[in-house]
Structures are given as C-alpha cells and as structure tokens.
Amino acid sequence: MKQNYENWYNALYQQFHTHPSYLKFVKTPSKEVALQFIANVCKSHMRSPQILGFLFAIALLRLWNELRIIFSKSWV
C-alpha cells in the first residue's frame, strides 16, 4: 500500500515539474508569470476545498514579505 502511494506521489510530482506553466514560472520568474500560474491553479481547483488553504497560504506569504520589508527598514 505504501509503495502505491509513493508511486502515485512521484507520478504527480513529475507531472507538476514538467508542466509548461511550471517550467515558465521557474525559467522566467516575474510578477505576471506568477499571477498567471496562481490563476491557473485556482481555475484548475475551483471546486476543491483545498483552494482556500492555497489562497490563504499565498496571502500569508505576501503579508510576511511585506512585514519583513517594513521591519527591516524600521531597524535601520
């Protein structure tokens, strides 16, 4: 059973890492490419309850980066 899950996970991992949208995101990182990548993920998983977790994680990451910038300037 464990081997079946590992094989399934590895297959999904390979599909993700060879997908043209992901490759474009990695090769030419920009705000536009990142937003398109996120939009594609949202469109693909619109009916999934995990999409809220994904969007929440992105929001927290953005907030963390902004706070880090604010606090790094205030300590100088």
SS3 13: helix
Residues 14-73 have pLDDT tens digits of 887 888 878 887 888 788 888 888 888 788 877 777 777 777 777 777 777 777 766 776
Asked whether residue 74 carries a pLDDT value surpassing 70, the answer given is no
Query: Which amino acid, one-letter code, is at 3?
Result: Q
Across the range 2-25, mean pLDDT stands at: 82
Q: Using the 8-state DSSP alphabet, how is residue 21 labeled?
A: H
Q: State how far the Cα of 37 lies from the Cα of 67, in Å rounded to an integer.
A: 24
Q: What is the pLDDT of residue 73?
A: 64
**Secondary structure of the chain: what % helix, strand, coil (to 5)?**
85, 0, 15
The reported pTM is: 0.46
8 A C-beta contact, residue 21 and residue 34: no
